[in-house]
Structure 1
Protein backbone atom coordinates (compact mmCIF):
# COMPACT_ATOMS: atom_id res chain seq x y z
CA UNK A 1 0.00 0.00 0.00
CA UNK A 2 1.50 3.25 -1.19
CA UNK A 3 0.11 6.77 -1.44
CA UNK A 4 -0.36 8.44 -4.80
CA UNK A 5 -0.93 11.89 -3.27
CA UNK A 6 -0.35 13.55 0.11
CA UNK A 7 -1.82 17.00 0.67
CA UNK A 8 -2.43 19.35 3.58
CA UNK A 9 -5.95 20.78 3.38
CA UNK A 10 -8.36 22.88 5.42
CA UNK A 11 -5.74 25.45 6.45
CA UNK A 12 -3.23 22.68 7.32
CA UNK A 13 -5.53 21.09 9.89
CA UNK A 14 -6.08 17.90 7.83
CA UNK A 15 -3.67 15.55 6.05
CA UNK A 16 -5.33 13.95 3.01
CA UNK A 17 -3.68 10.78 1.69
CA UNK A 18 -4.87 9.17 -1.54
CA UNK A 19 -3.82 5.51 -1.71
CA UNK A 20 -2.97 3.36 -4.70
CA UNK A 21 -6.29 1.53 -4.26
CA UNK A 22 -8.16 4.81 -4.88
CA UNK A 23 -9.25 5.39 -1.28
CA UNK A 24 -8.55 8.75 0.36
CA UNK A 25 -7.83 9.03 4.09
CA UNK A 26 -8.37 12.29 5.97
CA UNK A 27 -6.48 12.60 9.24
CA UNK A 28 -6.83 15.71 11.37
CA UNK A 29 -3.81 17.32 13.02
CA UNK A 30 -4.98 16.53 16.56
CA UNK A 31 -5.37 12.82 15.80
CA UNK A 32 -1.95 12.71 14.17
CA UNK A 33 -0.27 14.60 16.99
CA UNK A 34 -1.85 12.38 19.66
CA UNK A 35 -0.76 9.29 17.73
CA UNK A 36 2.92 10.25 17.51
CA UNK A 37 5.18 7.32 18.29
CA UNK A 38 8.22 9.46 19.04
CA UNK A 39 10.20 8.23 22.05
CA UNK A 40 9.34 11.35 24.05
CA UNK A 41 5.63 10.80 23.42
CA UNK A 42 5.76 7.13 24.37
CA UNK A 43 7.55 8.07 27.60
CA UNK A 44 4.98 10.82 28.32
CA UNK A 45 2.16 8.31 27.87
CA UNK A 46 3.88 5.67 30.03
CA UNK A 47 4.31 8.25 32.79
CA UNK A 48 0.63 9.20 32.55
CA UNK A 49 1.34 12.82 31.63
CA UNK A 50 -1.54 14.37 29.72
CA UNK A 51 -0.92 15.93 26.31
CA UNK A 52 -2.14 19.50 26.18
CA UNK A 53 -2.52 20.75 22.64
CA UNK A 54 -2.94 24.36 21.57
CA UNK A 55 -6.17 25.42 19.92
CA UNK A 56 -6.08 25.32 16.12
CA UNK A 57 -3.20 22.83 15.96
CA UNK A 58 -1.81 22.57 12.43
CA UNK A 59 0.57 20.40 10.47
CA UNK A 60 3.13 22.94 9.30
CA UNK A 61 5.18 20.61 7.15
CA UNK A 62 5.47 17.14 5.68
CA UNK A 63 8.75 15.43 4.86
CA UNK A 64 8.92 12.07 3.05
CA UNK A 65 11.09 9.45 4.76
CA UNK A 66 12.25 7.11 2.01
CA UNK A 67 9.40 5.19 0.40
CA UNK A 68 7.80 4.13 3.65
CA UNK A 69 6.79 7.07 5.86
CA UNK A 70 6.26 10.76 6.57
CA UNK A 71 7.76 13.01 9.19
CA UNK A 72 5.26 15.64 10.28
CA UNK A 73 5.99 19.07 11.72
CA UNK A 74 3.30 20.47 14.03
CA UNK A 75 2.54 24.04 15.07
CA UNK A 76 3.21 23.14 18.73
CA UNK A 77 6.85 22.46 17.83
CA UNK A 78 6.65 18.66 17.80
CA UNK A 79 8.62 17.22 14.87
CA UNK A 80 9.99 13.88 16.05
CA UNK A 81 7.34 11.41 15.00
CA UNK A 82 7.65 9.22 11.92
CA UNK A 83 4.40 7.94 10.47
CA UNK A 84 4.83 4.83 8.27
CA UNK A 85 2.24 4.37 5.51
CA UNK A 86 0.79 1.31 7.23
CA UNK A 87 0.36 3.27 10.48
CA UNK A 88 -1.35 6.19 8.68
CA UNK A 89 -3.77 3.77 7.04
CA UNK A 90 -4.51 2.15 10.43
CA UNK A 91 -5.13 5.56 12.02
CA UNK A 92 -7.51 6.46 9.21
CA UNK A 93 -9.41 3.22 9.77
CA UNK A 94 -9.77 3.99 13.48
CA UNK A 95 -11.00 7.51 12.77
CA UNK A 96 -13.67 6.29 10.33
Structure 2
Protein backbone atom coordinates (compact mmCIF):
# COMPACT_ATOMS: atom_id res chain seq x y z
CA UNK A 1 0.00 0.00 0.00
CA UNK A 2 1.59 3.28 -1.08
CA UNK A 3 0.74 6.65 0.48
CA UNK A 4 -1.64 9.08 -1.17
CA UNK A 5 0.78 11.95 -0.49
CA UNK A 6 4.36 12.35 0.66
CA UNK A 7 6.02 15.59 1.75
CA UNK A 8 9.48 16.40 3.03
CA UNK A 9 9.88 19.33 5.43
CA UNK A 10 13.49 20.50 5.68
CA UNK A 11 12.57 23.10 8.33
CA UNK A 12 10.90 20.62 10.66
CA UNK A 13 13.14 17.69 9.72
CA UNK A 14 10.16 15.46 8.98
CA UNK A 15 8.86 13.24 6.24
CA UNK A 16 5.04 13.43 6.08
CA UNK A 17 2.92 10.62 4.64
CA UNK A 18 -0.85 10.42 4.13
CA UNK A 19 -2.07 6.81 3.90
CA UNK A 20 -5.23 5.54 2.14
CA UNK A 21 -6.74 4.49 5.50
CA UNK A 22 -6.80 8.16 6.57
CA UNK A 23 -3.77 7.93 8.83
CA UNK A 24 -1.20 10.71 8.67
CA UNK A 25 2.35 9.97 9.69
CA UNK A 26 5.27 12.26 10.50
CA UNK A 27 8.70 10.64 10.63
CA UNK A 28 11.76 12.51 11.90
CA UNK A 29 14.76 12.66 9.58
CA UNK A 30 17.23 11.66 12.31
CA UNK A 31 15.24 8.58 13.30
CA UNK A 32 14.74 7.62 9.65
CA UNK A 33 18.52 7.72 9.25
CA UNK A 34 18.97 5.55 12.38
CA UNK A 35 16.42 3.05 11.03
CA UNK A 36 17.90 2.85 7.52
CA UNK A 37 17.05 -0.58 6.07
CA UNK A 38 20.23 -0.95 3.97
CA UNK A 39 22.32 -4.07 4.66
CA UNK A 40 25.16 -2.09 6.24
CA UNK A 41 22.93 -0.28 8.74
CA UNK A 42 20.90 -3.41 9.51
CA UNK A 43 24.09 -5.38 10.22
CA UNK A 44 25.24 -2.60 12.53
CA UNK A 45 21.94 -2.76 14.50
CA UNK A 46 21.99 -6.58 14.59
CA UNK A 47 25.34 -6.37 16.39
CA UNK A 48 23.59 -4.31 19.07
CA UNK A 49 25.06 -1.02 17.95
CA UNK A 50 23.24 2.24 17.32
CA UNK A 51 23.82 4.24 14.16
CA UNK A 52 25.18 7.58 15.35
CA UNK A 53 23.30 10.47 13.77
CA UNK A 54 23.58 14.20 14.37
CA UNK A 55 20.19 15.75 15.26
CA UNK A 56 20.44 18.29 12.43
CA UNK A 57 20.61 15.64 9.68
CA UNK A 58 18.11 16.18 6.87
CA UNK A 59 16.61 14.22 4.01
CA UNK A 60 17.84 16.16 0.97
CA UNK A 61 16.20 14.01 -1.74
CA UNK A 62 13.34 11.53 -1.98
CA UNK A 63 13.56 9.21 -4.99
CA UNK A 64 10.58 7.02 -5.82
CA UNK A 65 11.35 3.33 -6.34
CA UNK A 66 7.82 2.00 -6.99
CA UNK A 67 7.62 -0.21 -3.89
CA UNK A 68 9.06 2.53 -1.66
CA UNK A 69 11.48 5.45 -1.64
CA UNK A 70 15.21 5.95 -1.56
CA UNK A 71 16.07 8.66 0.96
CA UNK A 72 19.24 10.69 0.48
CA UNK A 73 20.56 12.23 3.69
CA UNK A 74 22.67 15.32 4.26
CA UNK A 75 25.51 13.11 5.58
CA UNK A 76 25.76 11.54 2.11
CA UNK A 77 24.10 8.25 3.05
CA UNK A 78 21.85 7.07 0.22
CA UNK A 79 21.98 3.28 0.30
CA UNK A 80 18.62 2.59 1.91
CA UNK A 81 15.40 2.00 0.03
CA UNK A 82 12.48 2.27 2.45
CA UNK A 83 9.58 0.02 1.35
CA UNK A 84 6.12 1.50 1.96
CA UNK A 85 5.26 -1.20 4.48
CA UNK A 86 8.47 -0.51 6.41
CA UNK A 87 7.70 3.21 6.57
CA UNK A 88 4.08 2.56 7.60
CA UNK A 89 5.32 0.50 10.57
CA UNK A 90 7.80 3.10 11.85
CA UNK A 91 7.04 5.44 14.71
CA UNK A 92 9.61 8.21 14.77
TM-score tier, shorter chain, comes to 0.7 to 0.9
> 1:16 — aligned with what?
16
Q: Runs of 5+ in structure 1 lacking a partner?
A: none
TM-score after normalising by structure 2:
0.87
1:9 CA drift (Å)? 1.6
Inter-partner Cα distance in structure 1 for 2:73 and 2:10: 15
> What SS class does the counterpart of residue 32 from structure 2 fall into?
helix
Match in the other structure for 1:89: 88
Q: How many residues align?
A: 92
Higher helix share: 1
* Alpha-carbon distance between aligned partners in 2 of 1:46 and 1:84, rounded to the nearest angstrom: 19
Give the alignment's Cα RMSD to 1 decimal.
Answer: 1.7
Give the Cα separation in 2 of the matches to 1:75 and 1:2: 25
8 Å Cα contact 1:12-1:59 kept in structure 2: no
Q: Deviations over 1:6-64 (max 9, x none)?
A: 00125261000011122111000111111111111122223444422123111111000
| Superposition TM-score, scaled by structure 1 size | 0.84
